[in-house]
Structure 1
Amino acid sequence: MNAARAVIVVLALSVVAVPVAGHVPSFPTDNTSPDSAVAVPDAAKSWSFYDYIEPGEVAYYRFSLTAGERLRVGTFTPDDGSFAPSVVVMSESFDGTDGVPGRVSVPDGMGAVVVTGERPARAEYEPFAPSATYHTASLDRPVDADAAYLVAVYEPDNRSGEVGVTVGYREEFSPTEYLTVPFDLVQVHLWEGQSPLLVVGPFALTVLAGGVLTRRRWADRSRSLVRGALALGALLVLASGVNTAVQTGVALTKTGPTAGVVVTALYVVVPLACGAWALWVAGRDASVTTTRTRAGLAVAALLSVATWAGFLVGPAVLLAVAVTPTRFVDD
C-alpha cells in the first residue's frame, strides 16, 4: 500500500509540476521588422522564444491583451559575456518615445517604454530545462484597457548573440505542446551553443551500451520480439534520465549549487527508476503478463510521459506491452 501511495504521489507531482512552472518554447525566424513580427497567439500564456540577433539587428513580437490581464515581457541569454538584450515595448496606450534607439521602428500613433538590459552577477538556474541563463530585462505591469503591443528586442552596443524572449505569465501547456517538449529541449540546448555530441551523446551512448549489455545477457536465452521491444523502450526512458543528469551538471557549473536542482532530480530519478525496472522486467524469466506487472508498466509509461522521458517512443512501448496479449509476450 505504501508503494502504491508513493507511485500516486510521484505521478501527481510529475503531471502538475510542469504546467505550473514552465514556459511554452518557440523558435522564431525572420522577425526583424514590425511587418514580420512574431504573432504571439495568447500573450497572457507564458512563452519562451529562443531567438538570435545579428549586430545592429532588432527582433519584433506583437500581441494583444485585454483589461485585467498583465503585460509581462523579459529577455535572457545563455551567454556569459557582456551581451545584454534590451526591450522596447510599444503601444497606443503609451505616451512618448524618449530613449528609443534609432534602429527601432515605432509605428505611427504608438508610444514606447524602454527597458535597458543589465547583466546579472551570475546565471539563474532553470530546473525544468535544466539550463543556466542570464536574465537582462523585464517589464511587468497591469493592463487597464484592451490594447495591442509591439515589442522590439535589441542589444544597446550592437553585439550579436542568442536572445531569449519571455512573454506572458499564465503557465499552461496544450497536450501537443506538452508532448513535444522533449524534442524542443534538444533544440533549446543547441540554441545555447552546446555541441550536438553533448546534447544527445549521453542519451545515445546509454541506449547503445544498454543494448550491447542486454544482448550479451540474453545470448543463451530465448526472448520474444515483444520482450526485446520492451527492453528498447526501457532503455529510451533510462537514457533520458542520464541525459537530464548530464544537462543538470552542465548548468550547475555556471550557477553553482541551487535549491532548484531538487526539482530537476524528479526528472532524473523517475526515468532512471522506471527505465531500470522495465528493463529488469524484460529480462527476467517470470511472466510479463501478470496483472501487477501490466499495471506497473502502465504506471511507468505515464510517469515517463510526465517527466518527458523516452521521446514518447519509450513510454508508448511500455504501454503497448502492458496491453499486449499473453501469447505474444511470454515464451
Structure 2
Amino acid sequence: MKARTSLLVLFIAVIIALPIVSAHVPNFPEGNDTLDTALHIDDPAKSIVVYSNLHHNDEAQYYSFHIEQGGRIYLGMLIPINSEEGYIPSFVLMGPGLGEEGELPSFIERPEDAGYIVIEGMLPEQGEYEGFSPSTFYELAEININAPAGGEYYVAVYSEEGEGNYALVVGYIESFTIIEFIRVPLDLIVVYQWEGQSLLEVLSPFIITVVMGLILMMYGMRKRGLEVPIYGLVGAIAGLFFVGSSAIMLYQMIYALNQVPANSQIIITLLFTLVPLIMGIAIIRIGLMGSRKPSRGIRATMFIIGILALFVWAGYFVGPALAIIAAVLPVSIASRIIRI
C-alpha cells in the first residue's frame, strides 16, 4: 500500500513538472561559417537554442529559415556568465522586405537583394538563472517582429571584439518530442561544457555519489550479513544512478546561484532534484529489503519507476534500464542470492 501511494505521489509530481518546464530544445551545429553552408532551421516557430562559438573577430556563423509573410520571427542571443571580458557578440537578420538598419560589418555575407537589421549585443548588469537546466547566462539581444515578406531569411552571428561561446535562441513555441525530452540530460552535459565547465567537473557529483553509494551498500550488506537477490542488487544500483543524477542537478544549482541571484525558477530545479532522489531511495529500499523472490507488485513498482525515471531525467538512461531489467528478470535468475 505504501509503495502504491509513493508511486502515485511520484506520478503526480511528474505530471506537474511537464507543463511547468519552460525551456528550449538544444542544438549543437558545426560547419556553418558561410552563407552557402548556413544551418537550416526547419521550424522557426519552435523554440530551440543553438550552442556554438566564435573563434576570431572577422568570423560569422550563418543560419537560415523559411517563413511566410506575417509570420512571427523571434531571435535572441545569450553568452555564458564567465565569457572573456569584452566579448559581446551581435547578430544580423537578413531577408526579403527588410530595410537597411544598422552598420553591417564588411565580412558579413549578404544574400542578393536582401535587406537587413543589425541587432547589437549589450551586456546587462547581471545574468539570469534558468531552473530547467539549471544554468546561468547573459541575455545580450533579441528581436521579435513579423516577417514583412515571405521567403528565405538568414541570421549571421558575429563578434567584432573577442572570442567565445554563444547561444542563438530561435522561436517562441516551447515544445518537445518524447525523444527530445528524455535526452535532455545528455544535452545538458554539453551545455555545462559550453558554460566553461570541464567534463570531469560536470560528472564528478554523479561519479562520487554512485561510487560512494556502492561502497556503503557493499559494506552494509557484509556487516549485516544481508543476502540480496540479483534483482534487488540490480534495482539498488539503478537507485544509485537516480541519486547520482540528483547530485548533478544540486551541484549545478549551487554553481549557478554563486553567480546570479535566485528567482522563482529554483522551484523547477528543486523538483527535478527531489523527484529522482525519492525514486532512488525508494528503489534502493525495495532492492535491499525486498523478498527473495520478486512479487508482481515489486516487479510492477520497479518497472513503473524505470519508465517514470526517463521523464524526470533520472539515472542517465542506465538507471532506468537497470530498473526495468530488475523488473523483468526471470525468477530463476532474479532470485539468486548475492553474498558479499
Q: TM-score range with shorter-chain normalisation?
A: over 0.9
Q: Distance in 2 between matches of 1:329 and 1:141?
A: 60
Q: What does 1:152-163 correspond to in 2, within 5 Å? A: 152-155=156-159, 157-163=160-166
Distance 1:128 1:98 in 2: 35
Q: What is the identity percentage for the equivalent residue pairs of Structure 1 and Structure 2?
A: 29
The CA deviation at 1:2 is 6.5
2:279 aligned residue: 274
Q: Which moved more, 1:57-66 or 1:75-84?
A: 75-84
For structure 1, the residue ranges without an aligned partner over 5 or more in a row are none
Q: Is the 8 A contact 2:10 2:275 kept in 1?
A: no
Counterpart AA for 1:239: G
Are the equivalent residues in 2 in contact too, given 1:237–1:310 (CA < 8 A)?
Answer: yes
Any gaps of 5 or more consecutive residues in structure 2? none
* Structure 2 match to 1:72: 74
Give the Å deviation of 1:245: 0.2
Whether the 8 Å CA contact 1:31–1:38 is kept in 2: the answer is yes
- The change in CA–CA distance for 1:224 and 1:290 in structure 2 (over 3 A counts) is closer
- What is the CA–CA distance in structure 2 between the aligned matches of 1:234 and 1:144, rounded to whole Å? 54
Report what 1:51 is aligned to. Answer: 52
Secondary structure (helix, strand or coil) at the match of 2:258 reads helix
TM-score, L = length of structure 1: 0.92
Q: What is the Cα-based RMSD across aligned positions, in Å?
A: 2.0
Query: In 2 relative to 1, CA 297–16 (structure 1 residues): closer, same or farther, beyond 3 Å?
Result: farther
- Partner Cα distance (1:145, 1:9) in 2: 46
Closer, same or farther in 2 for the Cα pair 1:143/1:185, shift >3 Å? same
1:265 aligns with 2:270: yes
Alpha carbons of 1:256 and 1:288: their partners in 2 closer, same or farther (altered >3 Å)? farther
Question: How many Å separate the matches in 2 of 1:64 and 1:289?
Answer: 55
* Residues 14, 306 of structure 1: 8 Å contact kept: no
Superposition pairs of residues 216-227 of structure 1, within 5 angstroms: 216-219=219-222, 220-227=225-232
Distance across 1 between alignment mates of 2:107 and 2:221: 65
The secondary structure found in structure 2 opposite 1:107 is: coil
User: 1:139 pairs with 140, 143, 146, which one?
Assistant: 143
Counterpart of 1:25 in 2: which secondary structure? strand
The answer for the alignment partner of 1:184 in structure 2 is 187
Q: Are the aligned partners of 1:11 and 1:302 in contact in 2 as well (CA < 8 Å)? A: no
Q: Is 1:170 the counterpart of 2:173 in the alignment? A: yes
Which sits farther off after the overlay, 219-228 or 59-68? Answer: 219-228
Q: Tell me if the contact between 2:17 and 2:268 (Cα under 8 Å) persists in the aligned partners.
A: no
Distance 1:258 1:51 in 2: 27
For 2:70 and 2:296, the matched residues in 1 are separated by 51
Correspondence 1:99 to 2:103:
yes
1:198-237 correspondence runs (5 A) = 198-219=201-222, 220-237=225-242
Match of 2:77, as an amino acid? T
Equivalent in 110, 126, 133 of residue 129 of structure 1: 133
- Asked if structure 2 preserves the Cα contact closer than 8 Å seen for 1:93 and 1:147, the reply is no
Distance 1:288 1:207, change over 3 A: farther
- Matched with 1:253 is 258
Task: Give distance in 2, aligned partners of 1:129 and 1:285.
Answer: 35
Find the residue that maps to 2:246 and give its secondary structure. Answer: helix
Q: Any conservation in 1 of the 2:41–2:64 contact (CA below 8 Å)? A: yes
For the 8 Å contact 1:44–1:65, the answer to whether it is kept is: no
1:144 Cα offset (Å): 5.3
Match of 1:148 in 2: 152
Residue 135 of structure 1: CA displacement? Answer: 0.6
Cα shift at 1:110: 0.3
User: Within 1, Cα distance between the matches of 2:48 and 2:275?
Assistant: 26
Q: Is the contact made by 2:230 and 2:335 (CA closer than 8 Å) also made in structure 1? A: no
Distance 1:8 1:98 in 2: 52
- Are 1:304 and 2:328 counterparts? no
Query: TM-score scaled to structure 2, two decimals?
Result: 0.90
Write the deviation string for residues 180-225 of structure 1: whole angstroms up to 9, x where unpaired.
Answer: 2111111110111112222000101111111111111222333333
Shift of 1:290: 3.2
For residue 313 of structure 1, the aligned residue among 318, 322, 331 is 318
For 1:202 and 1:13, locate their aligned partners in 2 and report how far apart those are by CA, in whole Å: 27
SS of corresponding position for 2:316 = helix
CA deviation string 1:33-64 (max 9, x = no partner): 11111111211111111110022111111111
Q: Could you tell me whether the CA contact under 8 Å between 2:74 and 2:143 is conserved in 1? A: yes
SS in 2 for 1:254: coil
Moved more, 288-297 or 49-58: 288-297
What amino acid is the match of 2:226?
R
Are the aligned partners of 1:79 and 1:162 in contact in 2 as well (CA < 8 Å)? no
3-state SS of 1:218 partner: helix
> 3-state DSSP class of the match of 1:140?
strand
Aligned residues: 328
**Within 5 A, what are the aligned runs for 1:21-40?**
21-40=22-41
